[in-house]
Amino acid sequence: MQVFKTRAFARWSRDEGLGDEALASAVAEMERGLIDARLGGQVLKKRVALSGRGKRGSTRTLITYRQGDKAFFIFGFAKNAQDNVTALELQALRLLARNLLTYPPAVLASAVATGELIEIKV
C-alpha cells in the first residue's frame, strides 16, 4: 500500500501538528473498512485525532483511496474551523482524486521527486 499527501496537505498537517504516524494509522483503519463518509468520486472523509485529543473534536481529512493500492491525503480541516467542504471544493477534489488514482508509477515517482507529493512510509 502506497500512501501520499499533497504538498498543500503536508503544509496544513504540519501546521495542525498532525504527523505521518496518525495518517498511516487512519489508512490502516480504512483498510479494515472504517470509513467515516463517502463523498463520491472516490473522495472519502476520515476523522484523524490530534495528539492528546479524540477524533470527535479533531481534524477531518479528505482522501482519495483505492483499497490495497494507493491513498492520497488531499485536503484537511479542523472541525472547529469549518463544518464541511463546499460543493465547488468537492467538485475540484473529485477531479484531483480521479487524476491521482490514474497516475502510473513513473508519474508518481516524478511527483515525489519534485515535492508535489510526499510519500508516507507505512
- pLDDT, one tens digit per residue, over 21-72 is 999 999 999 999 999 999 999 999 999 987 655 555 578 999 999 989 999 9
Return the minimum-mean-pLDDT range out of 47-61, 74-88, 107-121.
47-61
DSSP string, 16-65: HT--HHHHHHHHHHHHTT--SEE-STTEEEEEEPPTTS-STTSEEEEEEE
Return the minimum-mean-pLDDT range out of 4-13, 24-33, 75-84.
75-84
- Cell numbers for 84: 464541511
Break the chain into its structural domains and give their ranges.
2-120
- 86-104 mean pLDDT: 93
